[in-house]
Structure 1
Amino acid sequence: MRSSVLSRAQAAVTRLNRLHQNATGIEGLNQALRELENLQLGSSELEAIRRITDRLMEVVDGSERATYGQSASKQLRELRNRIAHALPEAPRPAYALDEEEDDA
């Protein structure tokens, strides 16, 4: 599922580039997708990428393509930053030492 979502997103960016060559934001979209490929993506992140991709595929008007390309690039970078800079969950110990025991 993960690879299909990212592949579909890359195909949408390729299509956008073909329809509106050198649009601002295309390289940013490519870069963000490459970086997202290296991160652990959960279902909410994949759903966000899917929504952005759906919107990219719907864009028809040339000026809207350029504008949404920039917006999508920004959204993907923000998603990438949120994932990459998230604080990891503290590991839970398998057991705890009780410091108040009198066995010592």
Structure 2
Amino acid sequence: MSYESEELVHEIQSRRAKTGMSQRALADRTGLSQAHISQMETGRLEPGLSSFLRIARALDLEVVLVPKKFLPAVEGIIRQPAEDRFSPEQGEAALREIERGERLVIKLKHLYGSSADLDRIAESLRFFKRAPLRQNDLKIVVDAINKLKRYQASPQSKGTVAAISRELRDLRNHLVHNPSEAPRSAYAVDDEDDDA
């Protein structure tokens, strides 16, 4: 069996074992022989695409092609425990909060002119729209947006804006560079930013 298909077959075999389905039961559901499934699982037979798809679907799996740059987000969704995932409603609320922050940055740029810190805040917010955030991460983002709104009219706000920019950049770097932590679910994926 080729190295490329070995991992896929292992996933199928693990899924079959987790569901408690025997090779014979899987064979009945797919129309393949039990010997065919056994040979595939032991690496003596390279699975053909149509056989692989039939087996995957019989195990309630679906094979899809994902752009490579979105793979970490998709994997995060798959591996994230259900209790840590955003519900669709929570995801929509999170996106609204981040979009509120983006509108605030646009307003501040219009009022006071562009700055490197505002540009970095805008870049971080674009990243967070498709990042695998957890509840605690979202709280940091929302607190930063609220702080930015509170201090927007203050003459001393330059230092605050710089601190918010650093805080959001640190969170972004943490999300990007710490894959060893428990996976996080992504609640939005779009094509706007290629930074991840």
User: Is 14-23 or 71-80 further displaced after alignment?
Assistant: 14-23
Distance 1:32 1:67 in 2: 18
Tell whether 2:174 aligns with 1:82.
Answer: yes
Determine helix, strand or coil for the equivalent of 1:41.
coil
Alpha-carbon RMSD across the aligned residues, in angstroms, is 1.8
Separation of aligned partners in 1, 2:101 and 2:146: 8
Q: 2:159 aligns with which of 53, 67, 71?
A: 67
**Aligned in 2, Cα 1:43/1:89: closer, same or farther, shift over 3 Å?**
closer
The gaps in structure 2 that reach 5 residues or longer are: 1-92, 184-196
| Partner Cα separation in structure 1 for residue 144 and residue 171 of structure 2 | 11
Structure with larger Rg = 2
TM-score normalized by structure 2? 0.42
- Please state if 1:46 is matched with 2:175: no
- Which of 86, 97, 109 is residue 17 of structure 1 equivalent to? 109
| Cα distance in 2 between the residues matched to 1:12 and 1:70 | 15
**Aligned mates of 2:123, 2:142 — CA distance in 1:** 17
Percent identity of equivalent pairs: 18
| Higher normalized contact order (CA 8 Å, seq sep 6+, divided by chain length) | 1
Hey, which bits of structure 1, 4+ residues long, moved more than 4 A?
Answer: none
